[in-house]
Structure formats: structure tokens, C-alpha cells
Amino acid sequence: MPKILIIDDERAIRNSLKDILETENYKVDTAEDGQQGIDLVKSNSYDAILCDIKMPNMDGIEVLQEVSKLADTPVIMISGHGTIDTAVDAIKKGAFDYIEKPPDLNRLLITIRNAMDKSQLITQTKVLKKAVGKKFQMIGESPAIRQIKNMIERVATTDARVLITGENGTGKEVVARWLHEKSNRASMPFIEVNCAAIPSELIESELFGHEKGAFTSAHKQRKGKFEQANSGTIFLDEIGDMSLSAQAKVLRTLQENKVSRVGSDKDIKVDVRVIAATNKNLKEEISKGNFREDLYHRLSVILIEVPSLNKRIEDIPLLADHFIGMICKEYGMPKKEITQQAIDELSNITWTGNIREFRNVIERLIILCNEKIEAKDVINFAKPIH
């Protein structure tokens, strides 16, 4: 049952609002002054708060500011002495809405429902961000991984462009997401573009957008990935596969912080941090004429090379424990044990697919082994089953 807090120094108003909301199946707490209301917020979780503005000792605006430090609960201000300036001031200071006394019943109920919808969206966003954070963890304490973690800590809060290199499956996307999550842009979009998965004739439209009628299938205007990432981060994965014409437009965007949609001559300002990744040797691609040298130098302000799993074998025990816990939780089963002998067998494998292959093998072992993962299970099931 949704829970509402009413903070008002007038008993008649408190009781009247309480009766109305309880009739609508809300659970309601009341407070006769601001301090009592803040104390209740400290010890309870509410879906919405109704707060009077004119109260003795601590007025509603002060209560609003204190509540915002304690919780993300939407606060609806109510007052019989308000003006437009009062309402604007309350909204500027973080109030969800402002309602005059005596409140119109329909408007009050609609406002509370809207406030609760916002509260639920905030909660869902937090849950999703937490889930994403768990998915993209950098597991390992090897010297190479510690060096990458230290580099991320040093450069994440800057807007420096980063070029991440490494074999397929090593975790380049994890590094990119860590850079974003630890940056000042963490609350803004993280837009990922797999340059290898987009046909060369569509890459420019994907990155920069297009105007209606720009080409045969352009039935409506479309924002590109750079515009979508405005104020946030764009991750250009497998940038070594990008066409030369698209590279030229990316270079211009990096130089001028502007994009131009396909079919338009209008420039659009963008504020985007660029992180790129590739499994190719870009210097070799430059010598072959497949990659622009000037773009390479624009992208590679900071270079991070992610090592292959075979170069960080000492991380295998930590990686195995992490993936076993995560996968068993996904399957809704108790966490399986793994023997030291099984770890030793995993350490002797040449991991051509790196972390991606390792995770798949752990999942296969969890499904096919009995109560614990033993050396014989790794020997029997780590390789493709014929």
C-alpha cells in the first residue's frame, strides 16, 4: 500500500487530507511541524510527501531542502497564502508540484499519482544502474588490471578522449563503462555504437542522424548517436572497421564539437566525451590506408591496452568465483563450489576467446557438473562437446 506523509500545522487540514487519502487506499502518517516531519522521513520510507509552506519554527521550504538531503521522495507543497512567486520558488528548490489550499480533490489525487510514478521511475533507474554496474565489473588483481584501474581513476573525471585496445573478449566495453560511471557525466547518457555491425552505407546516418527525405528510406527526421549522447559519453566500439568517409566526419566532430545530419547543411553543437575501442592495430591500418592518422591522434589522448586472459592467469580464481556466483544467481540455484584442482585445469587452458569464452565455459560447467566443479569436469566439458 502506498505511503504518504502529511506535514501541516493545522490539525483540521491534516485530518481532512488523511481521511481523503485513506479512503483512496493510501497509508498516511501526519506531522504537526517541520521537525516532526523530518524525523518521520529519517525513520520511514514514503512514496510522496504533502508539506505546508507557512509553518512556525521551520517553514515548508526549509523542510523541502532537508528532505531532499535524506531521500528522493517527491514533495508536493500546499499553502493557503501562496503566490506565483512562492510556487516558482518551491519548484526551483526541488518541489514536485505546488497546490493551493483548499486543494481541489481531483487535482490533489492526480498530482499524488504523478509524484508516485516519478518515485517509481527513480527507484527503477537505481535498480537498473545497480544491475548494469554488477554486469560490468572489472574483476582481477593482477598487475595489468591494477594498472588499468589506476589509469581509470586518474582520467575518468577529465574529458580526455580514450582509445582502448585489446583482443576480442578481453573486456574493452567494461573499461569504457567504468570510465563513464566514474566521470562527471555518469548521470548522462552512455551511447554505444558497434561500428563493425553497421553497414558502411548507414554508418553516417547512425552516427550523425538524417533529415526526412535525405535518402530513399528516410521517412522521418532522426537524431544520430552523437546527438543522443549529448552531455554524456559515446563509445565507438570496433572503430577500426569504420569507413573512411565516416572517419572524416567523426574527425570534424572532434575538432569542432558539431555534427551535421545527412541531408542537412545545418551544424548542431554537441558536448560529448568520446571513448573508442578496437581489436585492430591502428598503426598498421594507417600504413595500409584504412585508417586516418589524424583521427588516430585525436582519439588516442589516453591509450589503454586491455591484456588477454592468458597474460593475467593469476586472475582466474577471482574470475571463476565471480562468474559462478553471478550465473548461479541467474539460474536461481545455490552457489556451486570449485576445487583448487579445477582452478589449476582452467589456468592451463589457452583462452583464445578471453573473458567471454571463460564465462561461457563456467556456465557450461555449472550446468553439467554435480554439486561442485572438479578437475575432471573441466577436462570433460571445458572444450566443445562432440
pLDDT digits (tens, 9 = 90+) for 278-316: 999 999 999 999 999 999 999 999 999 999 999 999 999
Lowest mean pLDDT among 25-39, 79-93, 246-260, 307-321: 79-93
Task: Decide if 48 contacts 119 (C-beta within 8 A).
Answer: yes
All structural domains of the chain with their residue ranges = 3-132, 136-307, 310-381
pLDDT confidence of residue 135? 57
Using pLDDT thresholds of 50, 70 and 90, give the confidence band for residue 220.
confident
pLDDT confidence of residue 385? 60
The whole-number average pLDDT for the span 328-354 is: 94
Is residue 380 pLDDT above 80, yes or no?
A: yes
Is residue 127 pLDDT above 80, yes or no?
A: no
* Mean pLDDT for the chain overall: 89
Taking the CA atoms of residue 368, residue 372, residue 377 and residue 378 in that order, the dihedral angle to the nearest 10 degrees is: 110
Is residue 189 pLDDT above 80, yes or no?
A: yes
Among 164, 165, 170, 174, which Cα is nearest to 275's? 164
Q: Which of the two residues, 107 and 133, has the higher pLDDT score? A: 107
* DSSP states along 281-339: -HHHHHHTTSS-HHHHHHHTTEEEEPPPGGG-GGGHHHHHHHHHHHHHHHTT-PPPEE-
pLDDT confidence of residue 131? 56
Give the fold, CATH level 3, of 3-132.
Rossmann fold (3.40.50)
Using pLDDT thresholds of 50, 70 and 90, give the confidence band for residue 124.
low
pLDDT confidence of residue 104? 83
| Site of grid cell 584501474 | 149
pLDDT confidence of residue 217? 72
**CATH for the stretch 310-381:** 1.10.8.60
Cα 369 to Cα 246: distance, rounded to the nearest angstrom:
49
Provide the percentage of residues in the chain whose pLDDT is more than 90: 61
The whole-number average pLDDT for the span 263-285 is: 94
Q: Which three cell numbers stand for residue 60?
A: 515548508
With a CB cutoff of 8 Å and minimum separation 6, the contacts of 246 are 195, 200, 203, 204, 207
Lowest mean pLDDT among 119-123, 150-154, 181-185: 119-123
Using pLDDT thresholds of 50, 70 and 90, give the confidence band for residue 59.
confident
Lowest mean pLDDT among 55-64, 121-130, 147-156: 121-130
**What digits encode the pLDDT tens for the residues 314-323?**
999 999 999 9
Specify the CATH architecture of the domain 136-307: 3-Layer(aba) Sandwich (3.40)
pLDDT confidence of residue 384? 64
Question: Is there a common fold for 3-132 and 136-307?
Answer: yes
Provide the percentage of residues in the chain whose pLDDT is more than 70: 94
Q: Which of the two residues, 98 and 166, has the higher pLDDT score? A: 166
pLDDT confidence of residue 115? 87
